[in-house]
Amino acid sequence: DLVNLKVITLDYSQNLVRIPDLSSAPNLEKINLRWCSNLRELPSSLQHLEKLTLLSVRDSENFRSLPSFYKATSLTKLDLGGCSNLCSFPQIMGTMESLRHLYLSWIALKELPSSIGNLIGLEHLNMNNCKHLVCLPDSFYKLKSLKTFHLRSCLRLEIFPEVMDTMEELHELDLSGTALKELPSSIDNLIGLKYLSLNDCESLVCLPDSFYKLKSLLCLNLRGRSNLVVKNLFTAVGGRPVNPKDPQGLSSLK
């Protein structure tokens, strides 16, 4: 009986392949399994850990399967970054208010489930260097609490979904190094957006007219390789005059 166990830390356990059923440890709050290079999966009992706040499997390159976790109602941080053989993300079968930080960088994910919109408390989503990611779900706009979204170097990502409703909290969006060909016409629904990075977006050739309605935009980064044709950007964004300081990398919009 592990009823008093609150923390498991097994970082750098190179011979760890799996961990046992956790049903006997209902008071677990933190699980650290970072750099466990042979860890392949976690037990399904994970979802019943109602007091769990942190789960990190970072840089466990052979980790392949994350069980359903939506019943872990206290979870605030989930870090799967660097799990380079993780190809799927579980469905979120009910709303989760507690999860604030989700790190999915450097994994083999091709897409997110549409139920990702059930993470209604999510504030920070990092998907940098997801080389196999080809699309984002249309439910993206349901992430009303989202503040930062990083998709840097997602080399196969060609389409950013329409933003079907206003998103007030999202203030930082990094799409640098993606294969985006265009931004959605509904981009102006990102009414709180302050920082937008489009560095090295070689396939992006134009900005939608609605882009100029981003009244909160302070910083636009366009450094690196680009075929983007920009019209009237120096005149106004969000109804305000723009004085570019760097015509090769428009890093300041004020």
185: Cβ contacts below 8 Å, ≥ 6 apart = 162, 208, 209, 210
pLDDT at residue 81 tops 80 = yes
- pLDDT digits 0-9 by tens, 201-218: 999 988 999 998 999 999
| Element holding 72 (H helix, E strand) | none
pLDDT band at 229 (very low <50, low <70, confident <90, very high): confident
Q: What is the DSSP letter of 168?
A: S
Average of per-residue pLDDT values in the chain: 91
pLDDT at residue 230 tops 90 = no
3-state SS class at 196:
strand
